[in-house]
């Protein structure tokens, strides 16, 4: 038995499997990115609600409101950056929009 030819067959089989799995892996990465964006959007809405509730109180804790505003701005920036990253990773999907 020639082990060199067996190695080449196994290597080419692995390459074929990797090639066939590429679209599935791409969809998996895209779904993960969408999930992360959704988590950030939920955090943004929750932080916004927290700010509104804080300023509606009779005794406003300005330090807490400023901290929440910083968190809101950071989360908003992260959403923008994540969308830019996704657009860069998946340019074909951006063209479809």
Domain boundaries, the chain: 3-96
d(CA 35, CA 79) in angstroms, rounded, equals 12
Q: What is the pLDDT of residue 96?
A: 60
Cα–Cα separations (whole angstroms), residue 19 to 14, 26, 60: 8, 11, 58
Q: What is the pLDDT of residue 4?
A: 64
Q: What is the CATH number of domain 3-96?
A: 1.20.120
- Residue labelled with tokens 């950071």: 74
Q: What is the pLDDT of residue 82?
A: 97
pLDDT tens for each residue of 26-80: 999 999 999 999 999 999 999 999 999 999 999 999 999 999 999 999 999 999 9
- Residue labelled with tokens 């951006």: 94
CA atoms in the 13 A half-sphere facing the CB of 29? 13
């Amino acid at each position: 038995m020639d082990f060199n030819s067996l190695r080449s067959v196994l290597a080419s089989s692995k390459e074929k499997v990797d090639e066939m799995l590429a679209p599935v892996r791409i969809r998996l990465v895209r779904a993960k990115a969408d999930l992360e964006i959704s988590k950030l959007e939920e955090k943004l809405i929750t932080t916004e609600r927290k700010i509104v509730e804080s300023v509606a109180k009779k005794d406003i804790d300005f330090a807490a409101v400023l901290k929440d505003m910083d968190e809101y701005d950071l989360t908003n920036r992260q959403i923008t950056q994540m969308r830019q990253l996704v657009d860069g990773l998946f340019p074909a999907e951006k063209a479809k929009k």
